Amino acid sequence: MRWHKRLLVAGVTSVLALTASACAGGQVRGGGGTPQPQPSGSQPATTQTNDSTFVYVPNLDVVTDWDPATSYSNEIIALSNIYEGLTRYNSETRKAEPRLATEWTSANDGKEWTFKLRPGVKFHSGATMDAEAAKKAIERTIEKKGGAAYIWDAVDTIEAVDASTLKFTLKYATPLDLVASSGYAAYIYDVDAVDPDGKTTAGTGPYTIDSWQKGKETELTLKAFDGYWGGWRPEQYKKVAFRVTPEITTAWQLLQNGEVNFVQRLNPQLFQQAGTTAKVQTAQVPSFQNLLVLFNTASGPTKDERVRQALQAAIDYDGLIAALKGSATKASGLVPQGLLGHATGMEPKQDLAKAQELLADAGYGPDLPELKLSLTYAQGDEDQKLLVTLLSSTLKKLNVTLQAKPMTWNAQWDLGKKQGQDIFVMYWYPDYPDAYSWFVNVFKSAEKPQFNLSYLKNAGIDAAIDALPQLTATDQLKADMAYQDLQKKIIQEQAAVAVPYVQTYQRALTDDIQGYVDNPAYPNVVFFYDLKRAS
Amino acid sequence: MARYLARRLGQAFLVVAGVVMLTFAVMRLVPGDPAVAFAGPKATPEQLAAARERFGLDDPIPLQFVTYVRDLFTGDWGTSLRTRQPVRDDLYLAFPASLELVGAALVVAVVVGIPIGVLAARYKTKFPDFGVRFTSMLAVSVPVFWLALAMQLVFAGHLGWFSIAGEYDSSLDTTSPLTLWTNITLVDALITGNWPIFSSTLEHLVLPALVVAAYPTGVIAQMTRAALIEESGQDHARLERALGFGETSILTRFALRPALSPVLSLIALVFAYSIVNGFLVEAVFNWPGLGRYAAESIKSLDTPAIAGVTLLVALVYTLANLVVDLLQGVVDPRARAR
């Protein structure tokens, strides 16, 4: 009879484990304050022609922060459909377009901005969106000091001149129309209705929360906001679901089966397959995120400009792009295509003869003393690893040994702030669609460098960087030329950095989706309102 | 018995204390600043300082350890850097889903493993035995990640018999919302009579449960076979044979019961093992359990969450062993001397 007791043991163990986990007694899933789905009859039947749900597959959890003031993470893919800013960036025209503001002007050399607000816009809470409400929202975002709130650093005062006029006075000139189009920290919301727990939304956007279940596969569902100022057409998607699927092959299978509509990221092999699969369409666009190989200009062997130039010439740019199989495009300068300031004709090329010559000048090379360089890059990043492997084998032939160390971002950054390496590999992307971000953060002198990890210190370059915002705000043509000039100085003259590639977004969608445009200013965001379903 | 109880409890306490120290050490020794991970790479120095203060990172290490242990006892398992939720809340969501998967897998393992073990023993060295031994060897040794992908590709992708991924059809949340009691979907659907979610969960559960079941089924079948063969060589079996009982009858009526004893203690061990083994399966089938949570936490270097998962799994292991030991001590006094 002994096995009965053994069975009892196993049973008791399981029960104990179950009891330990049983905590959620009596809650309705999606409950705990999360709004319950409304009966489908709550919307007028005439607008329900497209009653299918658009299913978006992200690889990571969707929401970590519901507060539109401090949100600074993956939830941009949902919040961009719930909240709106004064403007939205158009990556084709490279300009800000009307959203909650219909028109705007700047005065006093870009230090004064006046926005005319769209009339008749209601928040999801029912309150009216007017200048006073917009002022309160931006002021709250600034006060919270979270996420990307720094984008408003230039703002001195905000004034609600009348119900539809919002006036900003700035401390220094800034292209505020671009700032206002940021995907982070630029939302206009009803400050009295903000709920950090995601029970309600306080935006003006086309969608509101239908259900939110943290940790579940279908983490978040959105539904159409009936009172949206843009109105609704029958063919638009009224329901959206975010189905978190970390495993890429699983996401691909779901798409092939038609269970989901949009996969945010596939690997290059699957993306290639997707291009030839029936009922699947693909889209790819260069992002605003590029890889920077920063050379230590302050100390060590790379202090010698010739060594830095040799390293630039040693990188196998074309080989790298080929090996990345479409997930990256060749960079031309520091500013990715689609942003004001993008320089054409600056595509780098490998030139080993030049590299060897420059190294020989500096006293290193095959018949000269060996050069040892330390490099740090992101642990687990296969693309960066590829760059390092290719560079390392090329340099070996030039009698240069690359001591490459994969590190976590935190550790790498800590080391970088202490000037602990010769070469620092990292990505950069702007928070709002403006090239200024690369220059002010990465290449402007600083006593204690945060991101200036080439430790470049050049008064002329600093002065040119400081002049960029005002130029962008007042004379875009001149700003464009200033950007081009700066890139030549930083990349060619100073050789502080090499830019091997710009990352490419590769998406796969079901072929019944129409109207999809990948806007790199809003990373991984699908503006569901702009889509329709082919009948 | 009291001394035995005290000794076993003391041992369990030491194991848990060791794991607590280990998780704390891992959290603090991983290079880099948790405040950066929480506040984001572009955080301003003020935001970093606020995050450092929030997590007490400026305190001396011994004080941080004391605070950590005190918080664990008061139920505060820290805040996840990735989800921004208390780790305990995250685990409350993820762990029951893992239990559901492993529970279903163990049912399969017992229901399939024991009978085929008997079959193999009955036809020892004949074709069925060869087949069972080969298949169970395969089930034990095939990489679980590969098996998961293969099953998904064939039975969900090509044949379309089952769903590819997920716990249940999420559109049911709208049509028949589920009331949660234990957080185990299948159990909650059953006790609240929510049949649409119950059947959808069962349908989604089949493939991942079969994959997780592969290893325990193989082990149980082999163990049953070995134990039965040993039992059928004992004196009592010879006597039964002499009395005219057939081989099948000897195996199932007399040898099976004593042979099952080691098999059943094996189940308790395989239970804890399968929770970890299920991690990869959860990733492939997008099962919202501990494995998926752990995988995502590791990917984003969410140290408090990783520590939480480690601690929970260690507690389950320790608890399972402790309960088995204690009950063995009750039913079999010889165990107390061991």
Per-residue pLDDT tens digits for B204-235:
999 999 999 999 999 989 888 888 888 777 77
| Per-residue model confidence (pLDDT) at position A514 | 94
The lowest-confidence range among B39-48, B131-140, B323-332 is B323-332
Q: Look at B331 and A2 and tell me if their CB atoms are within 8 Å.
A: yes
Nearest CB partner across the interface for B264, out of A3, A20, A257: A3
The answer to whether A166 touches A158, Cβ cutoff 8 Å, is yes
How much is the average pLDDT of B311-338?
A: 75
* Whether pLDDT at A21 is above 50: no
pLDDT surpassing 70 at residue A10: no
Encode pLDDT of A381-421 as tens digits. 889 999 999 999 999 999 999 999 998 887 888 899 889 99
pTM: 0.82
Any idea what the Cα angle at residue A490 is, between residues A485 and A495, rounded to 5°? Answer: 135
Q: How confident is the model at residue A187 (pLDDT cuts 50, 70, 90)?
A: very high
CA dist list (Å): B176 to A242, A289, B162, B193, B197: 19, 43, 21, 11, 8
Mean pLDDT, rounded, for B162-168: 87
pLDDT-derived band at A134 (thresholds 50, 70, 90) equals very high
Angle separating helix axes B256-285 and B303-331, nearest 10 degrees? 170
Residue bearing the bigger pLDDT, B303 or A324: A324
Does residue A32 carry a pLDDT above 50?
Answer: no
Nearest C-alpha in B relative to A251: B165
What is the arithmetic mean of pLDDT over A124-134? Answer: 96
pLDDT tens digits, one per residue of B180-199 = 888 888 898 999 988 999 99
CA distance B306 to B313: 11
Using CA coordinates, name the residue in chain A closest to B319: A13
In this prediction, residue B170 carries a pLDDT of 77
Please give, rounded to a whole number of angstroms, the shortest distance from the CA of B31 to a CA of chain A: 5
Please answer yes or no on whether B170 and A241 come within 8 Å at the CB atom: yes
Contact across the interface for B296 and A60, Cβ inside 8 Å: yes
- Can you tell me the mean pLDDT for B303-323? 86
Cβ-defined contact of B167 to A217 (cutoff 8 Å): yes
User: CB-CB: which of B153, B283, B288 is closest to A215?
Assistant: B288
Residues 6+ apart with CB under 8 A from A163: A117, A130, A131, A132
More confident residue, A41 or B295: B295
Q: What is the mean pLDDT of chain A?
A: 89
One-letter amino acid for residue B271 of the chain: F
The better pLDDT of the pair A323, A198 is held by A323
Q: What is the pLDDT of residues A208-218, one digit of tens each?
A: 999 998 878 88
To test the contact with chain B by mutation, choose from A5, A9, A451 the residue with the greatest count of B C-beta atoms within 10 A, namely A9
Residue B116, pLDDT above cutoff 70? yes
Give the residue, B31 or B309, on which the prediction is more confident.
B309
Q: Closest to B85 (Cβ–Cβ): which among A18, A37, A214?
A: A214
Q: Is B302 touching A (CB cutoff 8 A)? A: no
* Cα B238 to Cα B234: distance, rounded to the nearest angstrom: 7
- A495 closest CA partner among A471, A463, A461: A461
Does residue A308 contact residue A456 with C-beta atoms inside 8 Å? no
Q: Using the beta-carbon criterion (under 8 Å), do A150 and B44 form an inter-chain contact?
A: yes
Q: Which of A3, A28, A217 faces B170 most closely, judged by CB atoms?
A: A217
Looking at residues A451-465, what average pLDDT do you find? 95
Residue-wise pLDDT tens digits, B252-289: 777 777 777 777 777 777 887 888 888 889 988 988 88
Scanning B55-84 for CB atoms below 8 A from A yields: 82-84
Instruction: Name the average pLDDT for chain B.
Output: 83
Which residues on chain A are in Cβ contact (under 8 Å) with B32?
408-411, 413-414
> Which of B261, B197, B202 has its CA nearest to residue B228?
B261
Please give the residue of chain B at the shortest CA–CA distance from A66: B84
> pLDDT higher for B18 or B52?
B18
Q: Please name which of A475, A470, A472 lies closest in space to residue A170, comparing C-alpha atoms.
A: A470
Please give the Cα distance from A425 to B175 (Å, whole number). 50
Q: Which residue has the higher pLDDT, B56 or A28?
A: B56
Residues of B in contact with A26 (CB under 8 A): 179-181
Tens of pLDDT, residue by residue over B18-34, are 989 988 888 777 766 77
Pick from B44, B82, B153: which is nearest to A64 by CB? B82
What is the reported pLDDT for A22?
40
Residue of B8, B164, B187 to mutate when probing chain A, most A C-beta within 10 A: B164
Distance from CA of A195 to the nearest CA of B (A): 15
Q: Flag whether residue B92 sits within 8 Å of chain A, measured between CB atoms.
A: yes
Q: Give the closest residue to B313 by CA, choosing from B321, B325, B302.
A: B321
> In sequence order, what are the beta bridge partners of A116?
A103, A165
Question: Considering only CB atoms, which chain B residues are within 8 Å of A16?
Answer: 319, 323
Q: Identify the residue with better confidence: A118 or B68.
A: A118
Mean pLDDT, residues A293-309: 96
Judge whether residue A301 has pLDDT over 80: yes
B286: closest CA of chain A, how far (Å): 6
CA–CA dist A380, A57 (Å, integer): 22
Cα(A410)–Cα(A467) distance, rounded to whole angstroms? 32
End-to-end CA distance of chain B: 12
Query: Chain B 111-150, CB below 8 Å of chain A: which residues?
Result: 149
**Choice among A44-53, A437-446, A494-503 with the minimum mean pLDDT:** A44-53
Which string of DSSP letters, residue by residue, matches B146-167? Answer: HHHHHHIIIIIIIS--S-SSSS
Residue A490 has pLDDT above 80, yes or no: yes
CB pair distance less than 8 Å for A216 and B323: no
- Check residue A209 and give its pLDDT: 95
The two beta strands, A239-243 and A423-428, are unpaired
As a whole-number percent, the residues of chain A with pLDDT over 70 amount to 91
C-alpha B292/C-alpha B284 separation (Å) is 9
Residue B333 pLDDT grade (very low, low, confident, very high; cuts 50, 70, 90)? low
Q: Which of the four pLDDT bands, split at 50, 70 and 90, describes residue B250?
A: confident
Residues of chain B with pLDDT > 70, as a percent, come to 95
pLDDT for residue A2: 46
Cα separations in angstroms, B117 against A1, B189, B231, B249 = 20, 34, 13, 15
Q: Which residues of A touch B157 (CB under 8 A)?
A: 253, 256-257
pLDDT at res. A7: 45
Of the partner residues B173, B258, B286, the one whose CB lies closest to the CB of residue A29: B173
Cβ–Cβ contacts within 10 Å for residue A266, how many? Answer: 23
Of B37, B167, B324, the CB nearest to A13: B324
Compute the average pLDDT of residues A57-66: 89
Q: What is the ipTM of this complex?
A: 0.75
Residues 197-256 of B with CB under 8 A from A: none
Is the predicted pLDDT of residue A29 greater than 60, yes or no?
no
Enter the DSSP assignment of A490: I
Residue-wise pLDDT for A205-243, tens only, equals 999 999 998 878 889 999 999 999 999 999 999 999 999
Q: Which residue is associated with the tokens 């298949």?
A: B135
> Which candidate from A12, A22, A413 shows the least CB-CB separation from B183?
A22
Q: Are A2 and B258 an interchain contact pair (Cβ–Cβ within 8 Å)?
A: yes
Say if CB A186 and CB A85 are below 8 A apart: yes
pLDDT at position A130 is 96
B311 at interface of A, judged by CB pairs closer than 8 A = no
DSSP β-bridge partners for residue B179: A28
From chain B, pick out residues whose CB is under 8 angstroms from the CB of A3: 257-258, 260-261, 263-264
pLDDT, greater one: A130 or B262: A130
Measured between beta carbons, the chain A residues lying within 8 angstroms of B42 are: 72, 148, 431
* Chain A contacts in chain B segment 20-49 (CB below 8 A): 30-34, 36-37, 40-42, 44, 46-47
pLDDT at B73: 85
